[in-house]
Amino acid sequence: MDIKELGAKILTGDRRALARAITLVESRRDDHRAAAGELLDELAGSGREALRIGLSGTPGVGKSTFIESFGMMLTGQGLRVAVLAVDPSSARSGGSILGDKTRMDRLSRDPNAFIRPSPSQTHLGGVARRSREAVALCEAAGFDVVLIETVGVGQSETVVAEMSDLFVLLLAPAGGDELQGVKRGIMEMADLILVNKADGDLKATATRTCSDYAGALRLLRKRPQDPEGFPKALIVSAVEESGLDKAWEEMRALTDWRRENGHWQGRRAAQARYWFRQEVQQALMSQLETPAMRALMEELGDKVADGDMAPVMAAREILGRLGETPAEPD
Ligand SMILES: Nc1nc2c(ncn2[C@@H]2O[C@H](COP(=O)(O)OP(=O)(O)OP(=O)(O)O)[C@@H](O)[C@H]2O)c(=O)[nH]1
Ligand SMILES: [Mg+2]
């Protein structure tokens, strides 16, 4: 495969080339990893910058429906939209983004949209790397908006927030006054909370839920990256396609402010640094996962357990061996 040629095609916005490149970054083969690295390096100077929007929400909250409606609104404005998913759980297949073709039927046929499901059966670290690299590829291919979806379970929100310019939390109208058990850490990551399903019988509940969350957001510590009034909570209906234009307006107001005040570039720079460190750590960890290293760990572990060796010396011996044997791909 000619990497330069593939890179050139991606820059023209060629969707087949983009799909091939994403397949390449998903591969764990050593030669593919090397080629992917070369390609990403080649494209790094493209100077193109999409708005990366992370979107999280529990199963059934309406993520797919929202992405379809919101995505169609954006393509209707002439924007090119890419949709990726970070889905660490291989067990979950029913809701995976191409699984629900029906809910993204229009968007998946839109020539200005590109939808790519999450690769299955990979651990979160692998999914994260692949998604981050796929975002970079979509950006180089000239997409204006990259939506990165994740189902809100566990750590995947953090992973998505670390690769997004904006983090949007989609919530359902809640009966009673409970705040749906949204963890404080997740609330603190949100730039915008959208209470979906604000239609029909659910509208009043959605409005109440929205003001509850607006109140909860005001109680959080003020973040330097926010102008007055942010983070915000709004109601939307993905089905009735209402509130979507308002949500988009707020997203743009927030990103414009962040650009003008240096927070946009600051966040991207911090993210790049974070992923660089992650990459180093993962590579080091994978060096411990070779059969030879595992056996040595086991052997030295026994010595340490029997009191024949000090942990610090055993660790030194392991660290001294790193880099001697090629690591297995993760
Ligand atoms: N009333 C109403 N129902 C909605 C709205 N958005 C989604 N739904 C319904 O909620 C259900 C779940 O919607 P999905 O879009 O599949 O939700 P999801 O978050 O993608 O779910 P998973 O992929 O399983 O995580 C479907 O029956 C939708 O029709 C909305 O704005 N209003
Ligand atoms: Mg879905």
The confidence score (pLDDT) of residue 133 equals: 93
Q: What residue's CA is closest to ligand 1, atom 6?
A: 62
CA triplet 202, 248, 212: central angle to 5 degrees? Answer: 40
What tens-digit pLDDT sequence spans the chain (330 residues)? 799 999 999 999 999 999 999 999 988 888 999 999 999 999 988 889 999 999 999 888 999 999 999 999 999 999 999 999 887 654 444 445 445 556 788 998 999 999 987 766 556 677 788 889 999 999 999 999 999 998 876 678 888 999 999 999 999 998 655 566 677 888 899 999 999 999 999 999 999 999 999 999 998 888 999 999 999 999 999 999 999 999 999 999 999 999 999 999 999 999 999 999 988 988 888 889 889 999 999 999 999 999 999 999 999 999 998 876 555 554
Contact indicator for 62, 166 with CB cutoff of 8 Å = no
Cβ–Cβ under 8 Å, residues 96 and 150: no
- Per-residue burial over 273-302, b if 16 or more Cβ lie within 10 Å, else e, is eebeebeeebeeeebeebeebeebeeebee
pLDDT at 157: 87
User: Per 3-state DSSP, what percentage of the chain is helix, strand, and coil (rounded to 5)?
Assistant: 55, 10, 35
Residue in 61, 65, 199 to alter for ligand 1 test, most ligand atoms within 8 A of Cβ: 65
- Structure-token pair, residue 210: 């929205």
**Ligand 1 close to Cβ of residue 99 (< 6 A):** no
pLDDT at position 128: 82
d(CA 59, CA 172): 10
The residues with which 57 forms a beta bridge, in sequence order, are 151
Q: Which amino acid is present at 48?
A: R
CB of residue 103 inside a 6 A radius of ligand 1: yes
Please state the pTM of the whole predicted model. 0.89
User: Pairing relation of β-strands 145-151 and 113-116?
Assistant: unpaired
Q: How do beta strands 51-57 and 232-235 pair?
A: unpaired
CA distance 92 to 118: 11
Q: Is the CB of 237 under 6 A from ligand 1?
A: yes
The CA 62 to ligand 1 mean position distance, Å, reads: 3
Beta strands in 219-299 (DSSP E): 232-235
What local confidence, expressed as pLDDT, does residue 182 receive? Answer: 77
pLDDT score for 94: 45
Q: Give the containing element (helix H, strand E) for 81.
A: strand 81-86
What's the pLDDT at 283?
84
pLDDT at 192: 97
Could you tell me the distance, in angstroms and rounded to a whole number, from the CA of residue 198 to the centre of ligand 2?
Answer: 18
Minimal-distance CA residue to ligand 1 atom 27:
60
> What is the helix (H) or strand (E) element at residue 244, kind and residue range?
helix 244-260
